[in-house]
């Protein structure tokens, strides 16, 4: 039988090692989390394109100034308004005016937009053989693009379609 004597602390070496490593790992994880949180605000406009795409899609699908037939019938869109939006976004002289109307242009930042009207199977919607809505600029390969897809009803053709709105800087 072994009796404990002062100065015999061999049993604590393993315990001291585990406690030391645990404190080191926790402090390392804390510093990593702290430093990445400090640097995150310096990522230019990292997460604001999705809310801007949501804003633009809401204006287009729910507002009578957008594609909606009326504000009392949100997500029910008009074919003539879709054709008008297509011509406006594809016309360079009207493109910036459309960005202002959709809330995508400020004094500091100008966003870009691409809007398309698609079938559920992801093919572009066509009327009389012509694509109705596939308008706006095209994003660069490395752009931070926010995309919102809304389900809309086209009243003239009685079809359920997808309204894709892409926004980027």
- What pLDDT does 123 receive? 93
> Closest Cα partner for 49 from 113, 106, 134, 2?
113
- What pLDDT does 41 receive? 57
**Do 88 and 140 lie in a common domain?**
yes
Domain interval for residue 164: 49-168
Q: Is residue 112 part of a domain?
A: yes
Looking up tokens 């242009």 gives 105
Q: Report helix, strand or coil for 70.
A: strand
Long-range contacts (CB closer than 8 Å, 24 or more residues apart) made by 67-73: 67/152, 67/163, 69/155
Q: What is the pLDDT along the chain (169 residues), one digit of tens a residue?
A: 556 566 655 556 677 888 999 999 999 999 988 887 776 655 555 578 888 899 999 999 998 888 899 889 889 999 999 999 999 999 988 988 888 888 888 888 889 999 999 999 999 999 888 889 998 888 888 888 889 999 999 988 889 999 999 999 8
**Do 101 and 30 lie in a common domain?**
no
**Do 19 and 55 lie in a common domain?**
no
* Domain count within the chain: 2
Q: Are strands 73-77 and 146-154 parallel, antiparallel or unpaired?
A: parallel
**Do 86 and 28 lie in a common domain?**
no
Q: Is residue 43 part of a domain?
A: no
- What pLDDT does 141 receive? 83
- What pLDDT does 151 receive? 94
67 with 84: CB under 8 angstroms?
no
- What pLDDT does 23 receive? 95
Q: Is residue 137 part of a domain?
A: yes
**pTM exceeds 0.85, yes or no:** no
């Amino acid at each position: 039988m072994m009796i404990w004597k002062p100065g015999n602390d061999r049993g604590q070496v393993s315990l001291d090692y585990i406690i030391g490593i645990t404190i080191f790992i926790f402090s390392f994880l804390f510093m990593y989390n702290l430093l990445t949180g400090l640097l995150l605000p310096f990522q230019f406009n990292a997460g604001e394109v999705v809310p801007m795409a949501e804003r633009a899609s809401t204006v287009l699908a729910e507002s009578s100034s957008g594609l909606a037939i009326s504000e009392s019938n949100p997500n029910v869109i008009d074919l003539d308004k879709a054709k008008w939006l297509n011509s406006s976004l594809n016309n360079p002289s009207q493109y910036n005016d459309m960005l202002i109307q959709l809330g995508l242009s400020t004094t500091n930042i100008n966003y870009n937009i691409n809007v398309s009207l698609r079938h559920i199977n992801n093919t572009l919607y066509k009327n009389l053989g012509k694509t109705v809505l596939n308008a706006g600029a095209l994003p660069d390969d490395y752009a931070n693009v926010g995309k919102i897809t809304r389900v809309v009803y086209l009243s003239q053709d009685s079809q359920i379609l997808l309204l894709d709105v892409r926004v980027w800087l």
